Amino acid sequence: MTFKALLATRPDKEISVNLVELNDEDLMPGDVTIDVDYSTVNYKDALALSGKAGVIQTFPLVPGIDLAGTVRQSSNSGFAVGERVLVNGWGLSQTHHGGYAQRARVGAEWLIKIPERFSTRDAMAIGTAGYTAMLCIMALEHGGINPSRGDILVTGANGGVGSIAIAILSDLGYRVIASTGRPNEADYLRGLGAAEIIDRAALSEPGAPIACERWAGAVDSVGSHTLANVIAQTQYRGVVSACGLAQGTDLAQTVLPYILRNVTLAGIDSVNTPQSVREIAWSRLGHELDLAKLQRTITTIGLADVQQVAAGMFAGKVQGRTVVDVNS
Protein backbone atom coordinates (compact mmCIF):
# COMPACT_ATOMS: atom_id res chain seq x y z
CA MET A 1 0.00 0.00 0.00
CA THR A 2 1.18 3.49 -0.80
CA PHE A 3 0.70 6.55 1.37
CA LYS A 4 0.82 10.32 0.89
CA ALA A 5 3.80 12.35 2.03
CA LEU A 6 5.48 15.69 1.56
CA LEU A 7 8.97 14.96 0.29
CA ALA A 8 11.81 17.47 0.35
CA THR A 9 14.50 17.15 -2.30
CA ARG A 10 17.37 19.40 -3.31
CA PRO A 11 17.92 19.09 -7.06
CA ASP A 12 20.17 22.16 -6.94
CA LYS A 13 20.82 24.78 -4.27
CA GLU A 14 17.11 25.28 -3.59
CA ILE A 15 14.90 22.88 -1.65
CA SER A 16 11.89 21.52 -3.51
CA VAL A 17 8.93 20.11 -1.54
CA ASN A 18 6.25 18.05 -3.30
CA LEU A 19 3.27 15.92 -2.37
CA VAL A 20 4.14 12.37 -3.44
CA GLU A 21 3.15 8.71 -2.97
CA LEU A 22 5.57 6.51 -0.97
CA ASN A 23 5.43 2.90 0.22
CA ASP A 24 6.79 0.98 3.20
CA GLU A 25 10.09 0.38 1.44
CA ASP A 26 10.69 4.14 1.61
CA LEU A 27 10.39 4.21 5.41
CA MET A 28 13.52 4.55 7.51
CA PRO A 29 14.84 2.09 10.13
CA GLY A 30 12.99 1.59 13.40
CA ASP A 31 11.16 -1.01 15.42
CA VAL A 32 7.75 0.73 15.47
CA THR A 33 5.65 1.64 12.43
CA ILE A 34 2.95 4.27 12.97
CA ASP A 35 -0.21 5.21 11.10
CA VAL A 36 0.08 8.97 11.42
CA ASP A 37 -3.06 11.00 12.12
CA TYR A 38 -1.67 14.48 12.64
CA SER A 39 1.45 16.58 12.55
CA THR A 40 1.86 20.31 13.10
CA VAL A 41 3.71 23.37 11.82
CA ASN A 42 6.32 24.85 14.14
CA TYR A 43 8.81 27.64 13.49
CA LYS A 44 11.51 25.01 13.02
CA ASP A 45 9.34 23.38 10.35
CA ALA A 46 9.15 26.71 8.56
CA LEU A 47 12.95 26.96 8.69
CA ALA A 48 13.27 23.41 7.34
CA LEU A 49 10.87 23.93 4.44
CA SER A 50 12.49 27.23 3.47
CA GLY A 51 16.00 25.78 3.45
CA LYS A 52 17.11 28.30 6.08
CA ALA A 53 19.39 27.24 8.94
CA GLY A 54 20.19 23.85 7.35
CA VAL A 55 17.60 21.95 9.39
CA ILE A 56 17.25 19.14 6.84
CA GLN A 57 20.60 17.39 6.69
CA THR A 58 19.90 14.58 4.22
CA PHE A 59 17.81 14.36 1.05
CA PRO A 60 15.28 13.19 0.06
CA LEU A 61 13.49 13.54 3.39
CA VAL A 62 9.95 13.87 4.73
CA PRO A 63 9.87 17.04 6.88
CA GLY A 64 7.84 17.58 10.04
CA ILE A 65 9.37 17.56 13.52
CA ASP A 66 6.20 16.19 15.18
CA LEU A 67 3.81 13.33 14.61
CA ALA A 68 1.00 11.55 16.44
CA GLY A 69 -0.88 8.41 15.51
CA THR A 70 -1.41 4.75 16.35
CA VAL A 71 1.04 1.86 16.30
CA ARG A 72 0.62 -0.21 13.12
CA GLN A 73 3.45 -2.70 13.70
CA SER A 74 5.88 -3.15 16.58
CA SER A 75 8.78 -5.43 17.38
CA ASN A 76 9.30 -3.64 20.70
CA SER A 77 7.56 -5.05 23.76
CA GLY A 78 6.97 -1.57 25.16
CA PHE A 79 4.53 -0.60 22.41
CA ALA A 80 1.55 -2.62 21.24
CA VAL A 81 -0.40 -2.40 18.00
CA GLY A 82 -3.19 0.15 18.37
CA GLU A 83 -1.49 2.25 21.08
CA ARG A 84 -1.57 6.01 20.57
CA VAL A 85 1.91 7.55 20.43
CA LEU A 86 3.71 10.77 19.57
CA VAL A 87 7.20 11.91 18.65
CA ASN A 88 8.71 15.37 19.17
CA GLY A 89 12.06 16.26 17.65
CA TRP A 90 14.89 13.75 17.92
CA GLY A 91 16.00 13.20 14.30
CA LEU A 92 12.65 13.99 12.65
CA SER A 93 13.03 16.39 9.72
CA GLN A 94 16.80 16.44 10.15
CA THR A 95 18.13 12.95 9.39
CA HIS A 96 14.95 10.85 9.67
CA HIS A 97 11.58 11.02 7.88
CA GLY A 98 9.20 13.21 9.85
CA GLY A 99 5.52 13.78 10.39
CA TYR A 100 4.32 15.11 7.03
CA ALA A 101 3.29 11.65 5.88
CA GLN A 102 0.52 9.16 6.54
CA ARG A 103 2.99 6.59 7.83
CA ALA A 104 6.25 6.66 9.78
CA ARG A 105 8.74 4.22 11.24
CA VAL A 106 10.93 5.18 14.20
CA GLY A 107 12.84 3.69 17.09
CA ALA A 108 10.78 2.99 20.20
CA GLU A 109 13.19 5.10 22.26
CA TRP A 110 11.74 8.21 20.56
CA LEU A 111 8.12 7.44 21.40
CA ILE A 112 5.89 8.90 24.09
CA LYS A 113 2.52 7.34 24.89
CA ILE A 114 -0.15 10.00 24.49
CA PRO A 115 -1.79 10.93 27.82
CA GLU A 116 -5.25 9.36 28.05
CA ARG A 117 -6.90 12.77 28.26
CA PHE A 118 -5.63 13.80 24.81
CA SER A 119 -6.67 12.74 21.34
CA THR A 120 -3.98 12.47 18.67
CA ARG A 121 -5.22 15.84 17.39
CA ASP A 122 -4.82 17.36 20.87
CA ALA A 123 -1.30 15.95 21.06
CA MET A 124 -0.34 17.77 17.88
CA ALA A 125 -2.17 20.94 18.87
CA ILE A 126 0.37 20.88 21.69
CA GLY A 127 3.25 19.50 19.62
CA THR A 128 6.83 20.62 20.03
CA ALA A 129 5.72 24.18 20.74
CA GLY A 130 3.52 23.25 23.69
CA TYR A 131 5.95 20.65 25.00
CA THR A 132 8.69 23.33 24.80
CA ALA A 133 6.45 25.75 26.68
CA MET A 134 6.16 23.21 29.49
CA LEU A 135 9.95 22.72 29.55
CA CYS A 136 10.30 26.51 29.90
CA ILE A 137 7.85 26.56 32.81
CA MET A 138 9.67 23.68 34.48
CA ALA A 139 12.91 25.70 34.20
CA LEU A 140 11.25 28.70 35.87
CA GLU A 141 10.06 26.48 38.71
CA HIS A 142 13.49 24.86 39.02
CA GLY A 143 14.89 28.36 39.54
CA GLY A 144 12.47 29.02 42.38
CA ILE A 145 9.94 31.13 40.48
CA ASN A 146 6.41 30.69 41.81
CA PRO A 147 3.32 32.92 41.45
CA SER A 148 4.16 34.88 44.60
CA ARG A 149 7.46 36.06 43.09
CA GLY A 150 5.80 38.35 40.54
CA ASP A 151 4.81 38.67 36.90
CA ILE A 152 5.96 36.36 34.10
CA LEU A 153 6.61 37.85 30.65
CA VAL A 154 5.89 35.76 27.55
CA THR A 155 7.36 37.05 24.28
CA GLY A 156 6.16 35.96 20.86
CA ALA A 157 2.85 35.60 22.64
CA ASN A 158 0.68 34.89 19.59
CA GLY A 159 2.88 32.00 18.47
CA GLY A 160 2.69 28.35 19.47
CA VAL A 161 5.08 28.43 22.44
CA GLY A 162 3.69 31.74 23.64
CA SER A 163 0.04 30.76 23.39
CA ILE A 164 0.40 27.55 25.36
CA ALA A 165 2.80 29.08 27.88
CA ILE A 166 0.21 31.76 28.66
CA ALA A 167 -2.56 29.18 29.02
CA ILE A 168 -0.58 27.01 31.44
CA LEU A 169 1.05 29.79 33.46
CA SER A 170 -2.24 31.60 34.06
CA ASP A 171 -3.91 28.40 35.25
CA LEU A 172 -0.99 27.77 37.62
CA GLY A 173 -1.70 31.15 39.22
CA TYR A 174 0.94 33.35 37.59
CA ARG A 175 0.13 36.86 36.39
CA VAL A 176 1.19 36.85 32.75
CA ILE A 177 2.35 39.77 30.63
CA ALA A 178 2.13 39.03 26.90
CA SER A 179 4.44 40.75 24.43
CA THR A 180 3.12 40.86 20.86
CA GLY A 181 3.48 42.74 17.62
CA ARG A 182 -0.21 42.18 16.89
CA PRO A 183 -2.15 44.23 19.46
CA ASN A 184 -5.32 43.67 17.42
CA GLU A 185 -5.20 40.06 18.70
CA ALA A 186 -5.20 41.11 22.36
CA ASP A 187 -8.60 39.49 22.97
CA TYR A 188 -7.14 36.13 21.89
CA LEU A 189 -4.30 36.51 24.41
CA ARG A 190 -6.62 37.60 27.21
CA GLY A 191 -8.79 34.59 26.47
CA LEU A 192 -5.76 32.39 27.11
CA GLY A 193 -5.10 34.10 30.42
CA ALA A 194 -2.84 37.12 29.77
CA ALA A 195 -3.42 39.87 32.34
CA GLU A 196 -1.49 42.56 30.47
CA ILE A 197 -0.48 43.13 26.84
CA ILE A 198 2.62 45.10 25.80
CA ASP A 199 3.88 46.00 22.33
CA ARG A 200 6.93 44.01 21.25
CA ALA A 201 8.44 47.26 19.91
CA ALA A 202 9.28 48.17 23.50
CA LEU A 203 11.70 45.24 23.60
CA SER A 204 12.87 44.72 20.03
CA GLU A 205 15.45 47.52 19.69
CA PRO A 206 18.89 47.75 21.36
CA GLY A 207 18.49 48.84 24.99
CA ALA A 208 20.37 49.49 28.20
CA PRO A 209 22.45 46.60 29.58
CA ILE A 210 20.46 46.77 32.83
CA ALA A 211 17.14 48.53 33.40
CA CYS A 212 14.27 48.83 35.87
CA GLU A 213 13.11 45.50 37.29
CA ARG A 214 9.74 44.48 35.82
CA TRP A 215 9.17 40.69 35.87
CA ALA A 216 10.22 37.75 38.00
CA GLY A 217 10.67 35.49 35.02
CA ALA A 218 10.10 35.14 31.31
CA VAL A 219 9.51 32.67 28.51
CA ASP A 220 11.26 33.94 25.39
CA SER A 221 10.96 32.49 21.88
CA VAL A 222 12.36 35.54 20.09
CA GLY A 223 16.05 35.96 20.94
CA SER A 224 18.29 38.83 19.78
CA HIS A 225 17.57 42.34 21.15
CA THR A 226 14.29 41.18 22.65
CA LEU A 227 15.96 38.57 24.84
CA ALA A 228 18.69 41.03 25.90
CA ASN A 229 16.04 43.56 26.97
CA VAL A 230 14.00 40.89 28.75
CA ILE A 231 17.06 39.89 30.79
CA ALA A 232 17.94 43.53 31.51
CA GLN A 233 14.49 44.08 33.07
CA THR A 234 14.28 40.84 35.06
CA GLN A 235 14.03 41.13 38.83
CA TYR A 236 16.68 40.05 41.33
CA ARG A 237 17.11 36.26 41.27
CA GLY A 238 14.74 35.99 38.36
CA VAL A 239 14.81 33.32 35.66
CA VAL A 240 14.48 33.65 31.89
CA SER A 241 13.77 30.55 29.79
CA ALA A 242 15.05 31.01 26.23
CA CYS A 243 13.82 28.62 23.53
CA GLY A 244 13.65 30.48 20.22
CA LEU A 245 15.27 32.77 17.68
CA ALA A 246 12.45 34.41 15.73
CA GLN A 247 14.20 37.80 15.81
CA GLY A 248 17.72 36.42 15.49
CA THR A 249 20.48 34.27 16.95
CA ASP A 250 22.54 37.18 18.26
CA LEU A 251 22.53 38.26 21.91
CA ALA A 252 24.32 41.57 22.53
CA GLN A 253 24.51 42.22 26.26
CA THR A 254 26.81 42.56 29.25
CA VAL A 255 27.24 40.43 32.35
CA LEU A 256 25.57 43.08 34.55
CA PRO A 257 22.15 41.39 34.96
CA TYR A 258 23.89 38.18 35.98
CA ILE A 259 26.37 39.56 38.51
CA LEU A 260 24.29 42.45 39.90
CA ARG A 261 20.86 40.82 39.93
CA ASN A 262 21.75 37.14 40.00
CA VAL A 263 19.53 36.52 36.97
CA THR A 264 19.52 33.00 35.49
CA LEU A 265 19.29 32.42 31.74
CA ALA A 266 18.00 28.89 31.18
CA GLY A 267 18.46 27.54 27.67
CA ILE A 268 15.72 25.16 26.51
CA ASP A 269 16.39 22.44 23.92
CA SER A 270 13.42 20.28 22.95
CA VAL A 271 15.12 18.13 20.30
CA ASN A 272 17.40 15.97 22.44
CA THR A 273 15.75 16.32 25.85
CA PRO A 274 16.14 13.04 27.78
CA GLN A 275 13.12 10.76 27.59
CA SER A 276 12.59 10.90 31.36
CA VAL A 277 12.18 14.68 31.22
CA ARG A 278 9.86 14.44 28.20
CA GLU A 279 7.64 12.02 30.09
CA ILE A 280 7.37 14.44 33.01
CA ALA A 281 6.55 17.32 30.67
CA TRP A 282 3.86 15.37 28.84
CA SER A 283 2.41 14.04 32.08
CA ARG A 284 2.10 17.58 33.37
CA LEU A 285 0.53 18.74 30.11
CA GLY A 286 -1.97 15.93 30.53
CA HIS A 287 -2.99 17.30 33.92
CA GLU A 288 -2.41 21.06 33.72
CA LEU A 289 -3.36 22.23 30.22
CA ASP A 290 -6.92 23.51 29.85
CA LEU A 291 -8.35 21.74 26.80
CA ALA A 292 -10.85 24.54 26.20
CA LYS A 293 -8.00 27.04 25.97
CA LEU A 294 -6.06 24.66 23.72
CA GLN A 295 -8.97 24.49 21.28
CA ARG A 296 -8.92 28.29 20.91
CA THR A 297 -5.38 28.11 19.54
CA ILE A 298 -6.01 25.55 16.77
CA THR A 299 -6.22 25.93 13.01
CA THR A 300 -6.36 22.66 11.03
CA ILE A 301 -4.93 22.24 7.52
CA GLY A 302 -4.02 19.44 5.11
CA LEU A 303 -0.63 18.39 3.75
CA ALA A 304 -1.09 20.53 0.65
CA ASP A 305 -1.36 23.69 2.79
CA VAL A 306 1.78 23.20 4.88
CA GLN A 307 4.17 25.26 2.76
CA GLN A 308 1.85 28.26 2.62
CA VAL A 309 1.39 28.27 6.39
CA ALA A 310 5.13 27.88 6.95
CA ALA A 311 5.81 30.91 4.76
CA GLY A 312 3.24 32.86 6.77
CA MET A 313 5.23 32.26 9.95
CA PHE A 314 8.08 34.40 8.67
CA ALA A 315 5.57 37.17 7.90
CA GLY A 316 4.12 36.97 11.43
CA LYS A 317 0.70 35.93 10.12
CA VAL A 318 0.22 32.67 12.02
CA GLN A 319 -1.64 32.67 15.33
CA GLY A 320 -1.48 29.86 17.85
CA ARG A 321 -1.14 26.27 16.70
CA THR A 322 -1.51 24.84 13.20
CA VAL A 323 -2.44 21.16 13.17
CA VAL A 324 -1.81 19.16 9.99
CA ASP A 325 -4.36 16.45 9.21
CA VAL A 326 -2.19 14.20 7.05
CA ASN A 327 -5.23 12.26 5.86
CA SER A 328 -7.18 15.21 4.49
pLDDT band for position 119 (50/70/90)? very high
Domain shared by 108 and 133, yes or no: no
Residue 119 lies in a domain: no
Domain shared by 86 and 142, yes or no: no
Q: Is 138 helix (H, G, I), strand (E, B) or coil?
A: helix
Domain shared by 133 and 262, yes or no: yes
Residue 219 lies in a domain: yes
Residue 34 lies in a domain: yes
Rounded to an integer, the average pLDDT of 239-262 is 97
Rounded to an integer, the average pLDDT of 205-232 is 98
CA of 85: how far to CAs of 38, 75, 196, 257, in Å?
11, 15, 37, 42
Q: Is 314 helix (H, G, I), strand (E, B) or coil?
A: helix
Domain count, the chain: 2
CATH number for the domain spanning 244: value is: 3.40.50.720
Q: Domain residues for 94?
A: 2-114+297-325
Query: Considering the entire predicted model, what is its pTM?
Result: 0.95
pLDDT band for position 52 (50/70/90)? confident
Among 267, 286, 316, the domain-final residue is 267
CATH number for the domain spanning 65: value is: 3.90.180.10
Mean pLDDT of the chain: 96
Residue 283 lies in a domain: no
Residue 272 lies in a domain: no
Taking the alpha carbons of 228, 225, 150, 289 in that order, is the dihedral positive or negative?
Answer: negative
Domain shared by 109 and 133, yes or no: no
Would you state the pLDDT for residue 1?
Answer: 86
Residue 27 lies in a domain: yes
Tens of pLDDT, residue by residue over 158-200, are 999 999 999 999 999 999 999 999 988 999 999 999 999 999 9
Among 267, 288, 309, the domain-final residue is 267
Inform me whether the pLDDT recorded for 14 exceeds 90.
no
**Rounded to whole angstroms, how far apart are CA atoms 183 and 166?**
16
Percent of the chain scoring above 70 in pLDDT: 100
Domain shared by 166 and 255, yes or no: yes
